[in-house]
């Protein structure tokens, strides 16, 4: 999960996560104080979802339940 923040240095980590078979979700622009970090990951195409902060926990719970 990549949340509001400045810069784009988290994008490399997100790319590494997805290359290793992981999943990345990002906070959307509307609910981010600073869209830099999640926006960079979203623009790189590594996010499986870009959601409002209020929907992130539910998405994670559904994702984890599917892994069972």
**Residue 34 has what pLDDT?**
95
The pLDDT assigned to 15 comes to: 97
Instruction: Using alpha carbons, select from 28, 19, 34 the residue that is nearest to residue 1.
Output: 28
Instruction: Give me 25's structure tokens.
Output: 């979700």
CB within 8 Å of 19: residues ≥ 6 apart: none
pTM for the full predicted model: 0.91
Boundaries of every domain in the chain: 10-67
Per-residue model confidence as pLDDT tens for the chain (68 residues): 999 999 999 999 999 999 999 999 999 999 999 999 999 999 999 999 999 999 999 999 999 999 98
Name the DSSP letter for residue 13: H
The token duo for 13 is: 């980590």
């Amino acid at each position: 999960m990549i949340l509001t923040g400045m810069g784009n240095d988290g994008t490399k980590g997100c790319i590494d996560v997805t290359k290793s078979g992981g999943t990345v979700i990002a906070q959307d622009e509307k609910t981010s104080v600073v869209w830099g970090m999640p926006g960079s990951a979203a623009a790189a195409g590594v996010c499986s979802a870009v959601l409002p902060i209020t929907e992130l926990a539910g998405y994670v719970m559904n994702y984890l339940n599917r892994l069972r």
